[in-house]
A and B are shown apart, each in its own frame.
Chain A
Amino acid sequence: MRFLLVEDNAELAASVAARLKLDGHAVDSAATLDEAEACLGVAGYDLILLDMMLPDGDGRDFLARHRKASRETPVIVMTARSAVTDRIDALDTGADDYVTKPFDFAELEARCRAVLRRRGGGAQTLRTYGDLTFDPLAATLAVGEERRELRSREVRLFELFLNAPERILSKEHLCDRLFSFSEPVSDNAIEVYVGRLRKKLAGSRARIETVRGLGYRLTGG
């Protein structure tokens, strides 16, 4: 996906952009509302991540202009104040959703997906692997003509494999991506989800292999 990140704190912008790029997204950074308008003038974005307090104005003003110009790009507000009033304000002025800093990137992605799903975007996000068609927005996996529903963690797990086919992914790596850091996770939790995903892959040439002592690998594409 292509993100426009509007954030004036350079350090914060750099780390958010680096983190998004690591997941294979394209990110343009704007430090002011003017810069953001300039970016929107020349490129199309799937999503705008907007800080509320910017040096040349309030994020709410940007949102109001954005909606008035009936631009379709969804906006997710990043708020640091987290006051209840701020959140309600953000949504009232036309933001699609908000995250409170510091945010979990997995949650940000989940929210992006939810926003895009609500906006009815979708077809362009289809990905194929061998005889599989994967729709992360609709959370479905099609083997030939048969569509299978995936739960959220299955979608994210399959995405991890799909981003690195034929590569061995360690259990720890998968755990870190799949579970929130503050949630108690048992040692075999990842095996449970790999097991579920394997069931959803049944009948396809693609399969998830266990590489003893190292982790798992998606193969058969």
Chain B
Amino acid sequence: MLLQLLLLAACLSVGLYAAVRLGADRASEATFDAVLGAAAGSLAEEVRVAEGGITVDLPPATFSMLSAMGEERIFYRVDVDGAPVTGYADLPLPEQLPTALAPSFYDANYRDTDVRIAAILRSIRIDGRAAPLLVLLAETRQGQGAIAARLGNRAAVLGLAIFLAAIPFSLYFARSFLSPIDRLAEAVGRRGARDLRPLRHPAPSELQPFVTALNSFIARLRGTLSQTETFLAEAAHHIRTPLTVMRNEAELALRQSGEEETRARLRGLIRAADESARSASQLLDHATVLYRAEQADWAEMDLAKLVRDLVERFRPAAEMRDISVRLEVRGTLPTRADPVLVEAALRNIIDNAVKYSAPDGLVEVMAEAVAGEARVTVMDRGRGLAGVVDQGLKRRFRRGANVSDVPGSGLGLTIVEEAAQAMGGSFAIGPREGGGTCAVFSLPLL
């Protein structure tokens, strides 16, 4: 952009120089020609027919007029009846004779010097008849060249000055023209990986088509994603209803059957139903988290209240396995977040803690404000991470090496990590001192 502008400025400067140079040449030539023509005219006036031939009185005024233009040399030639009568007989004739009215001008090389010649055709009375009189006046053109060069140099200086002045202007215009684009690019670049809101950045009207195109693209992308979410929700519904009937019937059959082999098969059936239901939930949760993360639909909320409610909802499921959940949360933890994402994240963390705890275990949930963050810590005395690097566990469908006997989709920690990132928070999971796991989920405090 800047380069193009500078190139343009350079072209304009060169063009200006050429135009001034050409104009100066023309103007000086016209001026010199006028003087030369006038001098030739006055010379023609001085041609007299005298005894024994033709005489020319070289008028001093004419030559002082010519010498005023510079240090030039003058040559002349007077022809009568087509034959030279006086002056420099070898001065070149014009290709076409001038008319009687106006002098003609032409360039020629005479005695190794470039000269400008004015030719004037008059008539002169000799012996009672009119004879054609041709007067040529030649002048060297050093003066004109010097003037043209002087003018040209000035033009060059002017052109250079304009070019130099164009640099800061180009810079400024390039900047001011490009800066809205830069700002737009920055606004798009600053967004989170999943932020698909339309651009509301102020842009000059020239950029509006670009912004409109970008926004319509974002809208299409978002539509596709939301269709995916709806599809997943519908799919989950259609899978779950028959799965529920299947599980219920299997449980009923299990209660009524006394044959151990059949009962074992029914247990396997129920386990499979539970596992596929769980996978469906996790996939749907994951899709929801991805979708909500793009929406960035945040509101002020109290993390402490959400944690309290969530733990209350979890207690019955935990108590099924005689696992106690101890909740330690005081006051409020105001934060700005999407409650749906927070719920999905914390539910997965607590679910993991309960799932991997031994019966009679204790899961501790703490919510507190630490260093500008609302921090939720979930600790268990379960089987722990068994040396698995936590980064790996946060990846999709990755599960620990020590959990093959517990059903799971490997999506739980991915969901937590993605939710935390979407809201500018953080998530860390690691071994707890004395055995078990400690998971920390933080969001910026309001």
Contacts and interface: CB of A to CB of B under 8 A. Distances in A.
Given A88-B339, A114-B315, A151 B322 contact: yes
B120 interface: no
B275 A19 contact: no
B44 interface: no
Contacts of B313: 91, 97
A111 B233 CA distance: 25
Interface centre among A22, A85, A88, A110 (most CB of B within 10 A): A85
Interface in A65-117: 80-85, 87-88, 91, 97, 100-107, 110-111, 113-114
Contact of A182 (B252, B263, B406): B406
Interface stretch (B93-101, B237-245, B327-335): B237-245
A191 to B, nearest CB: 14
A182 B237 contact: no
Contacts of A84: 285, 288-289, 340, 343-344, 347
Contact of A176 (B237, B243, B263, B321): B263
A194 to B, nearest CB: 14
18 contacts: A12-B244, A19-B251, A22-B255, A80-B240, A82-B284, A84-B289, A100-B277, A102-B247, A105-B248, A110-B316, A151-B322, A153-B322, A172-B263, A180-B274, A180-B320, A181-B271, A182-B406, A182-B407
A101 B243 contact: yes
A176 B254 contact: yes
Interface centre among A83, A84, A106, A180 (most CB of B within 10 A): A84
A97 B312 CA distance: 10
A88 B341 CA distance: 11
Interface centre among A82, A180, A181 (most CB of B within 10 A): A181
A181 B241 contact: no
B267 A181 contact: yes
B298 to A, nearest CB: 15
Interface of B: 233, 236-237, 240-241, 243-249, 251-252, 254-255, 260, 263, 267, 270-271, 273-275, 277, 280-281, 284-285, 288-289, 309, 313, 315-317, 319-322, 339-340, 343-344, 347, 359-360, 405-407
Contacts of B340: 84-85, 88
Given A85-B340, A176-B254, A182-B274, A111 B316 contact: yes
Contacts of A106: 320
Given A88-B339, A110-B320, A105 B251 contact: yes
Contacts of A176: 254-255, 263, 267
A22 B289 CA distance: 39
A107 B406 contact: no
Contact of B237 (A81, A91, A104, A111): A81
A15 B243 contact: no
A110 B312 CA distance: 12
Nearest to A139: B319
Nearest to B273: A102
Given A80-B240, A101-B240, A102-B277, A110 B317 contact: yes
Given A15-B248, A153-B321, 14 more contacts: A12-B241, A19-B251, A81-B240, A88-B343, A97-B313, A101-B277, A102-B247, A103-B244, A107-B316, A107-B317, A114-B315, A114-B316, A153-B359, A182-B274
Contacts of B360: 151
B417 to A, nearest CB: 16
A19 B319 CA distance: 22
B322 A152 contact: yes
Nearest to B341: A84
Interface string A1-44: 00000000101100110110010000000000000000000000
Contacts of B248: 12, 15-16, 18-19, 102, 105
A107 B267 CA distance: 17
Interface residues of A, number: 41
Interface centre among B251, B339, B347, B407 (most CB of A within 10 A): B251
Contact of A19 (B252, B316, B321, B347): B252
A100 B281 contact: yes
Contacts of B260: 172
A146 interface: no
Interface in A38-63: 53
Contact of B243 (A53, A81, A102, A153): A102
Contacts of A100: 240, 277, 281
A16 B360 CA distance: 30
Nearest to A89: B340
A148 to B, nearest CB: 15
A101 B251 contact: no
A93 to B, nearest CB: 14
A182 B271 contact: yes
B316 A85 contact: no
B303 to A, nearest CB: 15
B281 A11 contact: no
A176 B233 CA distance: 31
Given A80-B237, A82-B280, A152 B320 contact: yes
Contact of A102 (B254, B274, B315, B407): B274
A115 B289 CA distance: 29
Contacts of B247: 102
Contacts of B406: 182-184
Nearest to A184: B405
Q: Return the 7 tightest CB-CB contacts between A and B, nearest first.
A: A15-B248, A102-B244, A152-B319, A102-B247, A110-B316, A101-B244, A80-B240
B236 A81 contact: yes
Nearest to B319: A152
Contacts of A180: 274, 320-321
Contacts of B359: 153
Given A80-B237, A81-B236, A172-B260, A113 B252 contact: no
Contacts of A87: 343
B241 A101 contact: yes
A63 B347 CA distance: 24
Contacts of B251: 19, 105
